[in-house]
């Protein structure tokens, strides 16, 4: 489904950017990497990053559901874009 794929792409784009841009800002603010405990100053950006990671995870599951639907339904093609009368087939290839 083309519309569901567009929704999934936009949501995944937002989720990935919400995950990694706050990490960039945290690095600029001086937060060290690979620490299990950090000062409370960084908690807002880490919360935003965690929400973005959750959105990305949900969208991966949504993408797998879209793939499963496309494989299991086996819809028939209503119109083929690659017909023998299209311009690509009329031309001599390669020139």
Sequential DSSP letters for 26-78: HHHHTPPSS-S---GGGHHHHHHHHHHHHHHHHHHHHHHHHHHHHHHH-PPPS
Token pair, residue 36, equals: 């299990």
How much is the pLDDT for 27? 92
In a domain, 90, yes or no: no
User: In 3D, which of 58, 57, 60, 77 has the Cα closest to residue 68?
Assistant: 60
In a domain, 87, yes or no: no
Total domains in the chain come to 1
By percentage, how much of the chain surpasses pLDDT 70? 81
Q: Which domain holds residue 26?
A: 2-73
How much is the pLDDT for 93? 66
How much is the pLDDT for 18? 97
What mean pLDDT do residues 64-68 have? Answer: 95
């Amino acid at each position: 489904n083309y519309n569901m794929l567009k929704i999934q792409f936009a949501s995944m784009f937002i989720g990935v950017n919400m995950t990694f841009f706050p990490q960039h800002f945290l690095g600029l603010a001086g937060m060290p990497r690979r620490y299990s405990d950090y000062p409370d100053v960084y908690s807002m950006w880490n919360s935003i990053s965690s929400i973005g990671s959750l959105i990305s995870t949900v969208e991966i599951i949504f993408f797998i559901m879209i793939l499963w639907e496309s494989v299991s339904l086996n819809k028939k093609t209503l119109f083929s874009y690659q017909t023998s009368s299209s311009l690509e087939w009329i031309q001599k290839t390669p020139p």
